[in-house]
Structure 1
Amino acid sequence: MAGGVDDDEYGEDSATVDQPITPWTISVASGYSLMRDSRHNKGLAFTEKERDAHYLRGLLPPVVLSQELQEKKMMNIIRQYTVPLHRYMAMIDLQERNERLFYKLLVNNVEELLPIVYTPTFGEACQKFGSIFKHPQGLYISLKEKGKILEILKNWTERTVQVIVVTDGERILGLGDLGCQGMGIPVGKLSLYTALGGVCPSLCLPVTIGVGTNNEKLLNDEFYMGLRQKRATGKEYADLLQEFMCAIKPNYGEKILIQLEDFANHNAFELLARYSSTHLFFNDDIQGTAAVVLAGLLSALRLLGGTLADHTFLFLGAGEAGTGIADLIALEISEQNGKPIEENRKKIWLVD
């Protein structure tokens, strides 16, 4: 800094991704605007020096609370709620005002809070998303934005994004077509990227593709957030997805990871076949679940002995997950015994 002041006096220049203090852009955010920035707000954990440096005097009570004490306080508050959805809403409120504390709670209390911010509770949250919606947490790209998607992506505040989780809301968990209210899925999944995978939240972008819904209950719900029309199909749907996929790399580079979540079967497999050779692209329901299940089977064989080919596999249903697992098992058996994958599929049964 000019005037011989130590650059690290208030910690701005020594701040890291794990310990940001001030968002540096054209100007330095301070005062009330800093406290409204969820990425950098620390609440009562702002130190005395930080309060002086960033014009926070008088905007906060005089006490300074450590993040550990804030965590203890928030966990006490969350545990007072007996309804899981209320716990979910309390966590989302925290994420929207103090992101650092949100992830500290989630990382340090993962067994208790994971069922709240992810399955099963956020399934109910998606069903009621229109009623509990307060603050946008990702990008909504609908048919209204056709022809403008490259421009829409530039509206996202972060210029450096490494992973996108996207859904079109047609097959949310086991709940069916929830349209735009499926946004809870990419938001929740990316929370896990950060809490369990250590990915900086600023590098993550949740996206919902809005093409309508076939859910009559939602179409008649006055609080529904999406397009009030039947779900687009065929060329109209394919063209919107094509424009979205073509706009991603110019914005975020060749290495951007794109993860599909909860697309209906008929679209999921087609999109995977179309874009897996041109983008860093995978479908979690088809491939992610399959990889975990296959790993479990291979681990079990260490105790049981023998090979996968020695067993017959029975599936209840033939959805994305079941079909993906079955295909990967057949592929692994082919790798082991050298027989065609069609031959090894005879060991696998999918029962309605």
Structure 2
Amino acid sequence: PAQGCHSKPGPARPVPLKKRGYDVTRNPHLNKGMAFTLEERLQLGIHGLIPPCFLSQDVQLLRIMRYYERQQSDLDKYIILMTLQDRNEKLFYRVLTSDVEKFMPIVYTPTVGLACQHYGLTFRRPRGLFITIHDKGHLATMLNSWPEDNIKAVVVTDGERILGLGDLGCYGMGIPVGKLALYTACGGVNPQQCLPVLLDVGTNNEELLRDPLYIGLKHQRVRGKAYDDLLDEFMQAVTDKFGINCLIQFEDFANANAFRLLNKYRNKYCMFNDDIQGRSHLNHEKEMFAQDHPEVNSLEEVVRLVKPTAIIGVAAIAGAFTEQILRDMASFHERPIIFALSNPTSKAECTAEKCYRVTEGRGIFASGSPFKSVTLEDGKTFIPGQGNNAYVFPGVALGVIAGGIRHIPDEIFLLTAEQIAQEVSEQHLSQGRLYPPLSTIRDVSLRIAIKVLDYAYKHNLASYYPEPKDKEAFVRSLVYTPDYDSFTLDSYTWPKEAMNVQTV
């Protein structure tokens, strides 16, 4: 039987449909595969284009799961799911929401990083909008090419800092696609209201420039005024086309641009960047916390001198937290905080097993990508917390869309963090969890969205009025469901006497 967090099946709502025939079976928003009823097949002109079999969505889920489990590698599993997304969108999200904890590491970190590295091989059909530096001056026209007009959320990257993998250029499109899949699977945002965008300004990755399978522009990255002009035009074109309330999330931009672009646009557009992190030099936001200190030669020496309460890894240097560092942290503090947040898993500063073993279970551990539970020699089992921003952005996005918020202040992220903390029980903490189980992420995102919506109306940030009296019911009404729609025509008759045929 299907498990999970999607709404219970009910009567399918009838949806008016202008498309007919072959186009219906090739449109992922409309296609139901063998779940089309005979009446729908006859009325839509697709009878004979589908095998003469009628399946429920539960059986379709079972078929996908059996095929999925036969795959040997995570990359093959990723390709299976992305192919399903291109074929039957409702079933794709039914699969994801049936077990978010199982599928999130496949459609997003860590597997999406591997998929981006091999994007030239895994590319099946275009998904999202590819905009290049050579299209400058024509971005409004390009946005008109997108088939959906009611876009509420855009995720955009220039591919320069994809996870911890560096400059992947046009191969970085897998990140906006995966991020928006989580908007829907974790937050309930309607996928037809989402647009993934890749801004291709070139790549400095010499390996890609030599790769005959590379799908992007083959020249060094364009920087300076031309780059900034492209971004300015893009932001203006998106808001002109989709409205000032359209949410724009910046994703995996290089550190040199991340803060700069955030500060440039945050008060003018509805935008945010959820993964700004450290760089090789201190940006001005961090200078107030810097202290003078004699130069040291290694991280181990820094830890011995500073005796920090917490160490946070975001530099994508695998194994940076050595056993010596972990032993020192355990000797300094009863409960040392060890956050190995670099993505994907191969770039993590240390593993969960290593942290718990060296600190004898006293380490408070979180990682950016998932690790399996760890059982120590004394029999105690720990479930590592995944410090992934997937707990944040789906709920924030749903709340922003629900209220038509035009600017996103930092306070929204603070109240989101507080809500996530409230979701963690004493039992979770005793298991080593710092975050609620991923299996509950849809419920967590819903409560975050309600908090964001409430905050927006209290602080005059919302633009949709009248203010909903029951905010929970209002947000729930916006949540996307993977249940199939009905495409049967609205059929009825008049009274017999009203249909009499007049004769001469």
State the TM-score bracket (shorter-chain normalisation).
0.7 to 0.9
Alpha-carbon distance in 2 for matches of 1:153, 1:111: 34
User: Does the Cα contact within 8 Å between 1:31 and 1:55 map onto a contact in 2?
Assistant: yes
What count of residue pairs does the alignment treat as equivalent?
283
Which residue of 233, 242, 253 maps to 1:243?
Answer: 233
Q: What is aligned with 2:181?
A: 191
Q: What is aligned with 1:43?
A: 33
Structure 1 residue 37 displacement after superposition: 0.6
Deviations 1:27-51 (A, max 9, x none): x212211101111000000011111
Letter in 2 for 1:283: N
Matched, 1:56 2:46: yes
Letter in 1 for 2:262: L
Letter in 1 for 2:135: E
TM-score, normalization: structure 2? 0.54
Deviations 1:290-322 (A, max 9, x none): xxxxxxxxxxxxxxxxxxxxx955444579x99
Alpha-carbon distance in 2 for matches of 1:273, 1:219: 32
Q: What is aligned with 2:269?
A: 279
Matched, 1:143 2:133: yes
Matched, 1:214 2:204: yes
Which residue of 223, 229, 253 maps to 1:233?
Answer: 223
Tell me the SS of whatever aligns to 2:126: coil
User: Does the Cα contact within 8 Å between 2:170 and 2:198 map onto a contact in 1?
Assistant: yes
Which residue of 111, 133, 136 maps to 2:101?
Answer: 111
Matched, 1:261 2:251: yes
Letter in 2 for 1:285: D
Alpha-carbon distance in 1 for matches of 2:95, 2:197: 25
Alpha-carbon distance in 1 for matches of 2:200, 2:237: 16
Deviations 1:253-311 (A, max 9, x none): 01011101100001011000100010011001039xxxxxxxxxxxxxxxxxxxxxxx9
Alpha-carbon distance in 2 for matches of 1:232, 1:86: 34
Change (3 A) 1:109 1:317: closer
Alpha-carbon distance in 1 for matches of 2:79, 2:172: 16
Alpha-carbon distance in 1 for matches of 2:123, 2:271: 29
Deviations 1:108-162 (A, max 9, x none): 0212111111111110100111121111110011012111001111110000000
User: Does the Cα contact within 8 Å between 2:164 and 2:315 map onto a contact in 1?
Assistant: no
Letter in 2 for 1:123: G
Alpha-carbon distance in 1 for matches of 2:192, 2:136: 26
Q: What is aligned with 1:95?
A: 85
**Which structure is larger by alpha-carbon Rg, 1 or 2?**
2
User: Does the Cα contact within 8 Å between 2:255 and 2:276 map onto a contact in 1?
Assistant: no
Structure 1 residue 205 displacement after superposition: 0.4
Matched, 1:80 2:70: yes
- For the aligned residue pairs, the C-alpha RMSD in angstroms reads 2.4
Letter in 1 for 2:161: R
Matched, 1:126 2:116: yes
Letter in 2 for 1:68: D
Change (3 A) 1:19 1:144: farther
User: Does the Cα contact within 8 Å between 2:84 and 2:91 map onto a contact in 1?
Assistant: yes
Change (3 A) 1:234 1:190: same
Tell me the SS of whatever aligns to 2:218: coil
Alpha-carbon distance in 2 for matches of 1:107, 1:267: 34
Tell me the SS of whatever aligns to 1:286: coil
Alpha-carbon distance in 1 for matches of 2:133, 2:183: 29
Q: What is aligned with 1:152?
A: 142
Write 1 or 2 for the structure with the bigger share of helix. 1
Alpha-carbon distance in 2 for matches of 1:19, 1:40: 13
Higher relative contact order, structure no. (Cα contacts within 8 Å, ≥ 6 residues apart): 2
Matched, 1:31 2:4: no
User: Does the Cα contact within 8 Å between 2:168 and 2:203 map onto a contact in 1?
Assistant: yes
Unaligned segments of structure 2, at least 5 residues = 1-10, 278-307, 317-340, 343-388, 390-409, 415-504
What percent identity do the matched residue pairs reach? 49
Alpha-carbon distance in 2 for matches of 1:199, 1:210: 26
Which residue of 165, 176, 193 maps to 1:175?
Answer: 165
Q: What is aligned with 2:485?
A: none
Q: What is aligned with 1:308?
A: none
Alpha-carbon distance in 1 for matches of 2:31, 2:216: 31
Change (3 A) 1:318 1:93: closer
Q: What is aligned with 1:300?
A: none
Structure 1 residue 22 displacement after superposition: 5.9
User: Does the Cα contact within 8 Å between 1:194 and 1:201 map onto a contact in 2?
Assistant: yes
Change (3 A) 1:317 1:199: closer
Q: What is aligned with 2:498?
A: none
Alpha-carbon distance in 2 for matches of 1:20, 1:150: 35
Tell me the SS of whatever aligns to 1:285: coil
